[in-house]
Amino acid sequence: MGQQRQLGLWALMAAIIGSVIGGAAFNLPKDMASAANSGAVMIAWLITGAGMVMLALVFQNLTLRKSELTGGIYSYARAGFGAFIGFNSAWGYWIASILGLVSFIPLLFSTLNYFYPIFGEGNNLPSLLGGTLFVWAFHFLVMRGVKEAAFVNFITTIGKLMPIFIFIIFLVFAFHRGIFFTDFWGNGSFSWTLIMKQVKDSMLVTLWAFVGIEGAVVLSGRAKRHRDVGTATVFGLLGTLLVYMLISILSLGVLSREQLQALPEPSMAYVLAKIVGPWGAVLINVGLIISIAGAMLSWILLTIEIPYVAAQDGMFPRSFMRENRKNTPIVSLWWTSLITEAFVIIVHFSASTYQAVYSMASVAVLIPYLLSTLYQLKLVKTGETYLNDKDKVRDGLIGFLAALYSCWLLYAAGLDYLLMVSSLYLAGFVLYIPMQLSRKRKLFKGQDWLVALTISGAGIAAIGMILTGNLSP
């Protein structure tokens, strides 16, 4: 049975806001302060805002010019660069989304520890058991139908935004210019070398804050009106960008950078408690629990869609196309939940933190982002879908800036995370190679060999370094 077009503009915007504003917003004061001083934080948000606007415009443009490609990020990579690259985009986005789901678990239970002090930092045994319960509770909720899950997500999106808006209002009144401008650039004086290092160190934080902005694109096949996809993407981005900038910048005018760095998670709760007292921490912690619940639901909806669409193109096993009577991609959902559970267990035994898991998710999703920008550049070069040079020049510039931003983020991520993520991409070969052989297709064509050798070399090196203790997941 094909996809049913059930989602309107507001549901698509809720899918974006629900997946973008998850746990990241509630820990932004600490995460940004840990990476940069006030001046560098502002520069980081300007770069991130400009880069993400370019990415959103790429997604908007591609949905309009290639409306037949309803698989979003995966479809763009496959249409532009062939089956192998398309498979890697689908696999990478799927694994990145699963890691995103997993990252919510330690943050959720470290938050619950505020009310029930048995969960520690969110990676002990009670957290593992609770995380397992959450994974499967959401599994059975999504089984009831994508439309029904999207409605629940819409309600939780409203619930999560209310404490954030209250937090911002109190920050405005508590903001002190003296605190904000103390050691504005760091190290007592302005230095481009220091500033760029701080900006670079904050890039994975700001990227993670926006992962999910492509949510409407991924769900485009279920949109009632295709034009709503681009609109939801752009307005969802601008709204979340404003919220994020206010949270992180205003917090630096309430507590010093050193004080913010020392806060427990979620840091937003303790900033508000400093202003209004203990009830502020209670409000934010309750808001975060609602937020994570909504974000997990949004992420599951996005995560199960990619294998479903990839299976329709023969890139994933045909079984992934199977839906239940509620039109939920049921095989994709089961595999997503099982792999999520496996990663939850790995995180528990490796004692990985929320920051470590979301950093891996951010790097893994960068490859599909970059491939989407390169596809736009390819369309501009070939002139496909273009009727005049003015549009080509505009979209070429947007695509170039978006690609440049994506490459900058890969550089900012650092070699360790790139190696760890390459091992996850290498794992996809276990699915790709048998499937291609069973259908008597060539494994690699042309430049595919170079890509395959790069992934293999980096992935094998990463696995060796992990086993010898020289690389920590």
pLDDT in tens, 388-408: 888 999 999 999 999 999 998
DSSP strand E in 69-137: where? Answer: none
Confirm if 421 and 360 have CB atoms less than 8 A apart: yes
**Predicted pLDDT at 397:** 95
Confirm if 340 and 136 have CB atoms less than 8 A apart: no
Alpha-carbon distance 149 to 237, whole Å?
Answer: 22
Helix and strand numbers, DSSP H then E, in the chain: 20, 0
Give the pLDDT band of residue 297 (cuts 50, 70, 90).
confident
Return the structure tokens found at 92. Answer: 């990478």
**Predicted pLDDT at 16:** 65
Query: What domain count does the chain have?
Result: 1
Q: What percent of the chain has pLDDT over 90?
A: 30
171-177 mean pLDDT: 93
Max mean pLDDT range (11-15, 124-128, 224-228, 268-272): 268-272
Max mean pLDDT range (3-7, 168-172, 328-332): 168-172
Cα pseudo-dihedral 175, 176, 177, 182, rounded to 10: -120
Q: What percent of the chain has pLDDT over 70?
A: 87
Indicate whether 217 pLDDT > 60: no
- The answer as to whether 445 is a domain residue is no
Alpha-carbon distance 261 to 270, whole Å?
Answer: 11
Indicate whether 136 pLDDT > 50: yes
**Predicted pLDDT at 190:** 78
**Predicted pLDDT at 441:** 81
Indicate whether 177 pLDDT > 70: yes
Q: Which of 151, 261, 135 is nearest to 205 (CA)?
A: 261
49-57 mean pLDDT: 87
Confirm if 119 and 113 have CB atoms less than 8 A apart: yes
Which domain, by its residues, includes 169?
9-357
- The answer as to whether 220 is a domain residue is yes
Placement of tokens 């369309």 in the chain: 379
Indicate whether 456 pLDDT > 70: yes
**Predicted pLDDT at 122:** 77
91: CATH? 1.20.1740.10
Confirm if 455 and 426 have CB atoms less than 8 A apart: yes
**Predicted pLDDT at 13:** 67
Give the Å distances, CA to CA, from 53 to 96, 201, 399.
21, 21, 11
**Predicted pLDDT at 160:** 74
Alpha-carbon distance 355 to 205, whole Å?
Answer: 8
Rg (CA), the chain: 21
pLDDT, one tens digit per residue, over 301-349 is: 778 888 888 888 888 888 898 988 877 889 999 999 999 999 888 877 7
Give the pLDDT band of residue 415 (cuts 50, 70, 90).
confident
C-beta atoms surrounding 277 within 10 Å: 10
Q: SS3 for 7?
A: strand
pTM of structure: 0.82
Max mean pLDDT range (4-8, 16-20, 31-35): 31-35
**Predicted pLDDT at 279:** 93
Lowest mean pLDDT among 232-246, 269-283, 456-470: 232-246
- The answer as to whether 205 is a domain residue is yes
Give the pLDDT band of residue 1 (cuts 50, 70, 90).
very low
Q: Which of 241, 374, 302, 294 is nearest to 96 (CA)?
A: 302
**Predicted pLDDT at 184:** 87
- The answer as to whether 462 is a domain residue is no
Give the pLDDT band of residue 424 (cuts 50, 70, 90).
very high
**Predicted pLDDT at 121:** 77
- The answer as to whether 404 is a domain residue is no
Give the pLDDT band of residue 168 (cuts 50, 70, 90).
very high
6-16 mean pLDDT: 65
381-386 mean pLDDT: 89
Of 19 and 45, the structure prediction assigns the larger pLDDT to 45
Alpha-carbon distance 29 to 27, whole Å?
Answer: 6
Q: Which of 41, 95, 45, 409 is nearest to 260 (CA)?
A: 41
Max mean pLDDT range (12-21, 74-83, 287-296): 74-83
Placement of tokens 């699963």 in the chain: 98
Of 69 and 48, the structure prediction assigns the larger pLDDT to 48
Q: Which of 330, 325, 343 is nearest to 304 (CA)?
A: 330
Residue 291: partners with Cβ closer than 8 Å, 6 or more residues away: 21, 22, 23, 25, 26, 156, 159, 160
Return the structure tokens found at 105. Answer: 């678990």
Q: SS3 for 329?
A: strand
**Predicted pLDDT at 2:** 46
Indicate whether 452 pLDDT > 60: yes
138-144 mean pLDDT: 83
Indicate whether 219 pLDDT > 60: no
Indicate whether 272 pLDDT > 90: yes
- The answer as to whether 204 is a domain residue is yes
| DSSP class of 323 | B
- The answer as to whether 296 is a domain residue is yes
Return the structure tokens found at 209. Answer: 């804050």
Does residue 117 have a cis bond before it (omega within 30 degrees)? no
Where does 313-329 have alpha helices with state H? Answer: none
- The answer as to whether 1 is a domain residue is no
First to last CA, the chain: 40
Q: Which amino acid is at 393?
A: V
Residue 184 C-beta-side C-alpha neighbours within 13 Å: 8
